[in-house]
Amino acid sequence: MAHYVYMIDFPHSGEFYVGVRTCEGDPEKDTRYRGSGVMVENKVRVHPYTKMIIATLPSRKDAERLEAILVNHRHPKSLNQCEGGQSGPLGMKHTDEWLTAHLARHTGAKRSESFRELMRNQNPSMETRAKLRASRLGKKSSEETKAKIRAARAKQVIVGKKHSEETRRKMSKAQMGKVVSEETRRKISKANIGKRNTEEARQKMSLAAHARWAAGVYRDRDPGPSRIMHNDISMRSTWEARLASAFDRLGWEWEYESLQLPYELADGPHVYTPDFYVPHLDCYFDPHWAKPDGAKRKFSAVREQCGIALVVLNRELLEMYEHINLSGGNK
């Protein structure tokens, strides 16, 4: 067995650590051992360092005596947490002098770019994540910290940083089932006042919503106060429910939002989902309370590009269908 005293030196900061070690074989080849101090272990992971063998001694006791002579844990650059020749016992408290020097050494210190890059690439275990969450429970950030976080996030948006698809899936999964409090809803609503989504974002939201409707995501949900139920089908408006009732009275079979039709306008591709399809007429129906220029362009493009028969009903046409009498009245 070999007993030696070593020093771990950090050139970037001038800090150092002196320790004693017992190993098998040549101490010069004991390169994988980098000290037992917690502070040292954390530093050697991220900062360049050198390990120097100070002396090799015949016994562990002799090595500890030399360590005791060399170590001055009160030195401002020393990473040793107690006098040499002894291990740091559990519950040991630093002296006020050491704490003052330690705080002065680290207050306002900036992390190196290599350290930041390493921390960005860290992938903590689930156990570590749980400990981090538990340590943050009940804690509130100061206004200064909140301002710094907002500034950092704003900078990320400007730079154009985007989450990967895998990260977005994880974030989506983590948010599933969470219930947002009324206070949080009010804050979100207030923060979004006056904001407008870009055209690209609106198109993506539209495509995602149509995909969810086509997959039947919303059909079995509670319609809520803003939706209407007709024959166990959740509809978007009373107009749609009135037209469905008119079709039922006429004995017509119909399908509700059963097809997605892609079309293009000057601003790019879109997807249109007609409200109703009547198979025996091979015709689509859409009750629409108003037809501004944008809606007119949409319906015209759908008819021309998709080659379908599409009837857009305003209030008067809807009332006419409600009063159709196939036995000899209005047709």
pLDDT, tens digit (0-9, with 9 covering 90-100), for 37-82: 677 878 888 888 889 898 888 888 888 888 887 776 667 788 887 7
Model confidence at 216: pLDDT above 70: no
d(CA 1, CA 233): 81
Give the least confident one: 144-148, 210-214, 228-232: 210-214
At 60 the pLDDT is 85
Mean pLDDT of 136-147: 82
Instruction: Note whether 271 and 210 are within 8 A (CB).
Output: yes
At 91 the pLDDT is 45
CA torsion 307-308-314-318 (nearest 10°) is 170
At 150 the pLDDT is 82
Asked whether the CA dihedral 172, 174, 176, 180 is positive or negative, the reply is negative
Give the least confident one: 32-36, 75-79, 83-87, 117-121: 83-87
Model confidence at 273: pLDDT above 60: yes
Model confidence at 331: pLDDT above 90: no
Mean pLDDT of 148-174: 76
At 25 the pLDDT is 86
pLDDT tens per residue, range 172-193: 888 888 888 888 888 888 888 8
d(CA 230, CA 259): 19
Give the least confident one: 49-53, 112-116, 149-153: 112-116
Mean pLDDT of 141-157: 78
DSSP 8-state code for residue 243 = H
d(CA 34, CA 52): 10
Q: Indicate the residue type of 96.
A: D
Strands 15-23 and 228-230: unpaired
CA torsion 40-44-49-52 (nearest 10°) is 50
At 329 the pLDDT is 45
Domain spans in the chain, listed from the N-terminal domain onward: 2-86, 228-322
Of 112, 106, 110, 108, the residue nearest 46 (C-alpha): 112
Of the pLDDT bands very low, low, confident and very high (cuts 50, 70, 90), residue 217 is: low
At 209 the pLDDT is 76
At 328 the pLDDT is 47
pLDDT tens per residue, range 9-32: 888 888 888 888 888 888 888 888
Model confidence at 225: pLDDT above 70: no
For Cα atoms 100, 106, 108, give the angle at the middle one, nearest 5 degrees: 115
Q: CA separation (Å) from 123 to 118, 120, 222?
A: 10, 9, 40
Asked whether the CA dihedral 168, 170, 176, 180 is positive or negative, the reply is negative
At 275 the pLDDT is 92
d(CA 252, CA 277): 10
> In whole angstroms, how large is the CA radius of gyration of the chain?
36
Strands 261-265 and 255-256: unpaired
Of the pLDDT bands very low, low, confident and very high (cuts 50, 70, 90), residue 89 is: very low
Report DSSP letters for 163-222, one per residue. Answer: --HHHHHHHHHHHTT----HHHHHHHHHHTTT----HHHHHHHHHHHHHHHHTTTTTTS-
Q: 194 is written with which tokens?
A: 């006056």
Of the pLDDT bands very low, low, confident and very high (cuts 50, 70, 90), residue 282 is: very high
Of 78, 63, 68, 75, the residue nearest 17 (C-alpha): 78
At 141 the pLDDT is 81
Q: Which fold has domain 228-322?
A: Endonuclease; Chain A (3.40.960)
DSSP 8-state code for residue 24 = S
Burial status of residue 224 (CB atoms within 10 A of its CB: 0-12, 13-18, 19 or more): exposed
b/e map 80-118, b = 16+ CB within 10 Å: bbeebbeeeeeeeeeeeebeebbeeeeeeeeeeeeeeee
Q: Determine phi and psi for 265, rounding to 5 degrees.
A: -125, -175
Side-chain-side CA neighbours of 165 within 13 Å: the count stands at 0
d(CA 304, CA 261): 12
At 330 the pLDDT is 44
Mean pLDDT, all residues of the chain: 79
pLDDT tens per residue, range 288-323: 865 656 678 888 899 999 999 999 888 888 888 888
